[in-house]
Structure 1
């Protein structure tokens, strides 16, 4: 067992050069941002992470593209949002409160004399309206300057591009995740390098031709495309320092080294089941002797059969704590206080966050990833950001690498693009 080591947190990126005084105010300064989300934390965290890196953490509003859910709607998710909403509206109007209508909408049928037609809780969510956002950008331009629009996810593409077309002189629109086509609809497109995997020699051998247009960009990379290794996120140096303080009383006293294990869930591009869970449990048993303590967290996607295996194999060990999902989520505290991480290969976001700390990151299940996700894993290994987890590691032996600072790197490129238009960020 190694002696106590001081907590290691990533250093803040070097500051951007001061802005000329002429740009400190007026219509040249971007003072506000709008985030267009799709209701999924993974996508919205990327947008908010970039907004934070641009210095607008306290000066942004969140709008959401709200897609109907439940029942037959899960089969209609491949449709454009606008068409999906029309079909959902027709189903409600035609079948109303009937038993068949309830089945179609995935609800238990309960006869009711009244129908309010609304979904509880949605009144608190700002639904994205391209016309309204574009109108606000034009009307408030002289007073508030340009509006920065940051969107992420397939469902947000049409809204973000519509805002750009309706207020081209008043907005700067950033689309995170590749829109596949029509790059000129946006001022900047932020996408992982592995999105271009289908265009590589190995990708063309692995992926059938008829599928390439659906899973990769359909046009060459243009000047407004900014490539990253992984996903953007909110776990920047400021957030981790706050988390280190918030979780100090719970995590600081734990015996070192502290190993954090983040377990996601199988996806169509990274399939695994009970066999990988048993492999992981066995490997963790192999490193317990060199660990001071182990903290295990599951994601919302973790199947019960996988969490049950981990709990059965490790839940009673005195060094191991498994978060039960109740109370505050310790994820940010874990990122701040961990000495090393073990992460399942399915989650680009969890790996991206851990690799921003500069601490050892071990991966389980990378050999099960395919297509562009195998390319992502290969890039992480080649850059020395991760190593495979074998169970033979001595966790008291630390190693490091230049941490990923992708939100800050993208923010620098965005500032440069804004400067080309004569705009700057306050």
Structure 2
């Protein structure tokens, strides 16, 4: 009887390699699809995770957006699919001229990221679950499995549908808590404060008849990754690049360089002119110990807030207020700042700043409620942030182990993919 011989590995010069040596028992994930919702805070989390997984050069971006403006502001609580159907019906009945509809459109706009067309991906105008699932199935043998990363409430139905339609061809990661039925996804990445509604403190605040409607509906299980803050793109490589790009403008500034990031009030973190006046007074108190002070507003910052800042600090010789024109100095500030002062409303800005290991001062945390108060409590308990009082000596530095949520979440994704019998393409 002739002995059984396994195929010999081909040399590097060979045209092809036997499948057993090319992929072994694994299928290799070489490409990613990001499902966005039009909000930078959510989309940056998906982009940051894909970047940490080494697939930034092989990603395609799709976006789901709600109709906005007019009556649509009263319909935002509806599921996205129902909202779009109702919006279509109302437009057919009333027309644009007789009804206050959205200024924007509900079409999905692809972002100018590099697409992996060579791996079977192409830029689609809409985040159509059926089309993406079909593409994943049709290209599976040639290009391997597809990683799908989505973030935000409006992306849940699309991401879960892709998983349902192509379960053997995709690995779906949902960022931010999807309310219920976690088994619709391969992995869920959610901040710990998303589970605040399940704590005894939160349960005492919720009327019993409303508890079933408050997210989450179930505790985390083995395929839920809990983070402290939000995922983001500000990793060490990105900060090194930003440090080089902004060297000529920021390196010569007198030290310490203090960066102030101002967001805007939210439902669970309300503030107005009173807090902004408190902030300007505190900043004026610490200017003596600052070499330079740089202030940035977000797109959510109300004019009444920015106007007070401009009036009180705009003419000071140590202060520069970014005017919102490109290029955005945000990454440069993260790289070069010696300390940060940040309003309490922005989980994203705080998460990025806390990833640097530099002093982070927060103003307005005491005005936050619900899970956002729990978030600030966790930051302070870990030594990542301190309240901003205006009595600080900004030349005195302090540090802590940097928040590393994005890299840690990426590590958990790799482990889960390996448990699935697949692996990620080496960077």
TM-score (norm 1): 0.89
Equivalent in the alignment of 1:6: none
CA–CA separation in structure 2 for the residues paired with 1:346 and 1:62: 27
Q: How does 1:175-194 map to 2 (within 5 A)?
A: 175-194=174-193
**Structure 1 unaligned spans of 5+:** 1-20, 108-116
**Could you say what secondary structure the match of 1:367 adopts?**
helix
**Could you say what secondary structure the match of 1:33 adopts?**
strand
Equivalent in the alignment of 1:94: 93
Equivalent in the alignment of 1:157: 156
Given that 1:46 and 1:231 are in contact with CA atoms closer than 8 Å, whether structure 2 keeps it comes out as yes
- Counterparts in 2 of 1:25 and 1:318: CA distance versus 1, 3 Å: farther
In the TM superposition, residue 26 of structure 1 has moved relative to its aligned partner by 8.8
Equivalent in the alignment of 1:370: 369
In the TM superposition, residue 175 of structure 1 has moved relative to its aligned partner by 0.4
Given that 1:23 and 1:29 are in contact with CA atoms closer than 8 Å, whether structure 2 keeps it comes out as no
Equivalent in the alignment of 1:347: 346
Range moving further from structure 2, 132-141 or 205-214 = 205-214
In the TM superposition, residue 421 of structure 1 has moved relative to its aligned partner by 1.3
Equivalent in the alignment of 1:423: 422
In the TM superposition, residue 386 of structure 1 has moved relative to its aligned partner by 0.2
Equivalent in the alignment of 1:292: 291
CA distances 1:62-95 after superposition (whole Å, capped 9, x unpaired):
1111322221111111111111111121222223
Given that 2:26 and 2:423 are in contact with CA atoms closer than 8 Å, whether structure 1 keeps it comes out as no
Equivalent in the alignment of 2:74: 75
CA–CA separation in structure 2 for the residues paired with 1:303 and 1:386: 25
Given that 2:66 and 2:106 are in contact with CA atoms closer than 8 Å, whether structure 1 keeps it comes out as no
Equivalent in the alignment of 2:101: 105
In the TM superposition, residue 206 of structure 1 has moved relative to its aligned partner by 2.8
Given that 1:207 and 1:371 are in contact with CA atoms closer than 8 Å, whether structure 2 keeps it comes out as no
- Counterparts in 2 of 1:214 and 1:307: CA distance versus 1, 3 Å: farther
Indicate yes or no: 2:55 matched with 1:56: yes
CA distances 1:124-155 after superposition (whole Å, capped 9, x unpaired):
87310000000111111111111000001111
**Structure 2 unaligned spans of 5+:** 1-19, 112-123
Q: How does 1:250-269 map to 2 (within 5 A)?
A: 250-269=249-268
Range moving further from structure 2, 223-232 or 202-211 = 202-211
CA–CA separation in structure 1 for the residues paired with 2:168 and 2:156: 19
Given that 1:180 and 1:217 are in contact with CA atoms closer than 8 Å, whether structure 2 keeps it comes out as yes
CA–CA separation in structure 1 for the residues paired with 2:337 and 2:199: 36
In the TM superposition, residue 304 of structure 1 has moved relative to its aligned partner by 1.0
CA distances 1:238-292 after superposition (whole Å, capped 9, x unpaired):
1111111111111111101000000011111001111100111111111111110
Q: How does 1:4-403 map to 2 (within 5 A)?
A: 28-97=27-96, 99-100=97-98, 103-106=99-102, 122=109, 126-403=125-402
- Counterparts in 2 of 1:212 and 1:322: CA distance versus 1, 3 Å: farther
CA–CA separation in structure 2 for the residues paired with 1:119 and 1:190: 27
CA RMSD of aligned residues (A): 1.9
Given that 2:198 and 2:219 are in contact with CA atoms closer than 8 Å, whether structure 1 keeps it comes out as no
CA distances 1:207-250 after superposition (whole Å, capped 9, x unpaired):
33344444421012111100000100111111111111111111
- Counterparts in 2 of 1:152 and 1:51: CA distance versus 1, 3 Å: same
In the TM superposition, residue 104 of structure 1 has moved relative to its aligned partner by 2.5
CA–CA separation in structure 2 for the residues paired with 1:123 and 1:420: 32
Given that 1:66 and 1:127 are in contact with CA atoms closer than 8 Å, whether structure 2 keeps it comes out as no
Q: Which has the higher contact order (CA 8 A, sep 6+)?
A: 1
